[in-house]
Structure 1
Amino acid sequence: MVNIVKISRLMTLMLLMAVILGACGQSSHEKVELTISAAASLTDALQEIRTLYETDHLHVKLHFNFGASGALQQQIEQGAPVDVFLSAATKNMNALIDKKLVDAQEQQNLLTNELVVVIPKESKVPISSEKDLIDEHFQKVAIGIPETVPAGNYAKEALSHMGLWEQLQSKIVQSKDVRQVLQYVETTNVDAGFVYKTDALTSDKVKIAFAVDPVTYAKIEYPVGIVKATNHSKEAEEFYTFLQSSPALDIFVKYGFSISK
């Protein structure tokens, strides 16, 4: 009888140890999920980078939150759980540095881009400069909301520099981000739109009418930074470093970006 009790206790102890070891093994294999808030114009390049990164970092899962840089900045200011931020304008990153939400030593200008005007692929309307947008053939011109969308702010800056901003007010259609501008042109809901060169290269439904003169707007730079509130400092630092490495930069260049000097 005593032996049966001892055996029962031993089996119970072994079962308990198996459960504990199983739980430990399971937790050690749990993936760390990093949330990356990134400008909408980075969508295609970052999707490819995710595949490459997760293949070599099996313990990390990347979750992207794409949108207008200004809107993403506001989300971080309001406490959204973000680990790494990629902006399409330095002013949005600088605002977070000023509010001590990003450490100045843990952010870096990563990429540059160009502003272009696109029209529907089948359009036959002649256009070679911003002045042509005044023509009656162009009833609707899309730009991102200047207050929150860097591409929209660059477009407003360029049009203002040329004295055309006020003249075009009745034609301007504002969009939530640069990808929505591209979509409006693709679906011919507008006659033209201001997007980044990289966005134009992703679509076979639009064509570049002309490149906006870079002297008419501020340099387009994409900084990347680690958000101080991250709960995964080690993994965030590793991904931040990876984005500055040759494998990642090669992918960005493939999608039309230039590397920041």
Structure 2
Amino acid sequence: MEPVLSNPTSDRVKKVRALHRRSSRERAGQFLAEGPQSVREVLRFAPGTVDAVYYVRGERSAELVELAAQRGVTTRECTPEVLAQMCEAQHPQPVVAVVRPVSVSLDEALAGDGYVVVLTNVRDPGNAGTVIRGADAAGARCVLISDSSVDIENPKVVRSTVGSLWHLPIHTGSSIEEIFAACRDAGLLLLAADGVGEQLLPDTDLTRPHAWVMGNEAWGLEPEVRDACDEVVRVPIYGHAESLNLAMAATVCMYASAAATQTTD
């Protein structure tokens, strides 16, 4: 049995800590999954991507250490001080996993059935992660994230997906033009979700194969991106709210698609 990691300034701890920086993640080809829920889901759904699990002994980590052993994943016990140094959160979780990227090719992502979610120029980690979580919950085929958007391996994105990052295909790194071309080749209608749309969500036929296109949190979709879509759809506001934020609007649209799909099945 290896000794407990107890030195917060060791090279191993520094390498794990460095994965909070995008440049280090890209160089190492690794990122972090922090907390019991994220670690549990990556061990359940993508154990082959897990390089190591670090944990503090206790009830919340015991189950995960056993699951890691069943999946043949290396584990290492740490002191609370070491794990706190590895993690970015103000109140560190008792377990963190070092994992490899999850992105698949466009063809792989679009190979399934159901509607698709496209994110472009989405910069807020919490919003991106919440949309991925919503897409998982509402049964999307996949999520396609353009190269102008936030890095989905950012620890804040990973935490906000609460494990959904490993539940459905996700593609990153392509331009919005490449994504649109692939969606059209797959026979998908491009529906721009934007507050300037004259077409209302309840009036939109979502039984057709389609992809929702979601834009930046502050300014929405760029005009040229919006114009490249087949329809521009607006979520109606029935009260006095000025607007819905990206994650809220995306969730409403995705559940409308899910309901339409369920109705036609």
TM-score, normalised via structure 1 length: 0.23
| Structure with more strand by fraction | 1
TM-score, normalised via structure 2 length: 0.23
Higher-Rg member (1/2): 1
Q: Comparing both chains, which one has the higher relative contact order based on Cα–Cα distances under 8 Å and sequence gaps of 6 or more?
A: 1
